[in-house]
């Protein structure tokens, strides 16, 4: 007669091991907490609270609609000359976002800088910030999303992302004249 295999004994320390490993990882990551928080936040989808049945949906301001559109594109690939819906270049993203909000703006970063009203004073969500770049157009554009943050399609190999505003811009413009 063949003896049955010995019963597996459940490890009593398994939960403790996981807790120790998680604590050590958290301690190692602490110096990089801000960068990790940004990576995690950018990887998560934007969650909107459900509306009660029968509620009318508020349309929001045009800048708010442009920002919401641009943020929904996070994670999509960069492609030179693309204006959506599956890939974007920098100005294609800002052009498509403002178009979704019902505002027509120039298609290129150069055209946006030259053809839209300059921002006077503080940046607001929806404003476009133009930077010098090494790319073919020599310009890069990103959209302000609030609290020192912007959304951009930065370049080949880097998907649409939100990141901190950078210093050294060439100027900022406000589509729709701030309406």
* Its pTM surpasses 0.85: no
Which pLDDT score is estimated for 48?
Answer: 35
* 106 in a structural domain: yes
Give the range of the structural domain holding residue 27, as residue numbers without chain letter.
18-42
6 is a domain residue: no
Contact 127, 119 (CB under 8 A): yes
Q: Residue 2: inside a domain, yes or no?
A: no
Confirm if 93 and 109 have CB atoms less than 8 A apart. no
> What three-state secondary structure class fits 63?
helix
Return the residue matching tokens 């019902």: 102
12: in domain: no
* Predicted local distance difference test score (pLDDT) of residue 135: 77
The CATH number that applies at residue 78 is 3.90.1720.10
Residue 74 belongs to a domain: yes
CA–CA distances in Å: residue 79 to residues 84, 111, 137: 9, 19, 14
165 with 85, same domain: the answer is yes
Looking at the fold, whether 70 and 135 belong to one and the same domain comes out as yes
Query: Are 112 and 170 in a shared domain?
Result: yes
**For residue 11, is it within any domain?**
no
Taking the chain (179 residues) in runs of 10, the rounded mean pLDDT of each run is 63 62 60 44 38 49 97 97 95 97 96 95 96 88 95 94 95 81
If one counts the domains in the chain, the total is 2
- pLDDT of res. 12: 60
Tell whether 35 and 113 lie within a shared domain. no
CB 70 within 8 A of CB 64: no
Residue 54 belongs to a domain: no
Please check whether residue 126 lies inside any domain of the structure: yes
Please indicate, yes or no, whether residues 33 and 120 belong to a single structural domain of this protein: no
84 and 120 assigned to the same domain = yes
Specify whether 117 is located in the same domain as 35. Answer: no
Residue with tokens 């929806």: 126
């Amino acid at each position: 007669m063949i003896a049955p295999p010995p019963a597996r004994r459940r490890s009593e320390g398994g939960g403790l091991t996981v807790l120790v490993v998680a604590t050590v990882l958290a301690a190692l990551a602490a110096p990089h907490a801000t960068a990790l928080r940004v990576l995690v936040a950018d990887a998560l989808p934007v969650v909107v609270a459900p509306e009660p049945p029968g509620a009318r949906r508020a349309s929001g301001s045009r800048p708010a609609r442009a920002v919401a559109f641009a943020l929904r594109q996070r994670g999509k690939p960069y492609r030179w000359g693309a204006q959506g819906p599956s890939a974007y270049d920098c100005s294609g993203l800002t052009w498509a976002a403002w178009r979704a909000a019902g505002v027509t703006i120039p298609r290129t970063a150069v055209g946006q800088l030259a053809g839209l009203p300059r921002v006077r004073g503080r940046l607001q969500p929806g404003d476009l910030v133009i930077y010098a770049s090494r790319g073919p157009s020599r310009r890069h554009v990103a959209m302000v999303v609030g609290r020192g943050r912007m959304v951009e399609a930065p370049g080949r190999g880097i998907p649409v992302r939100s990141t901190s505003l950078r210093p050294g811009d060439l100027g900022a413009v406000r589509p729709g004249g701030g309406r």
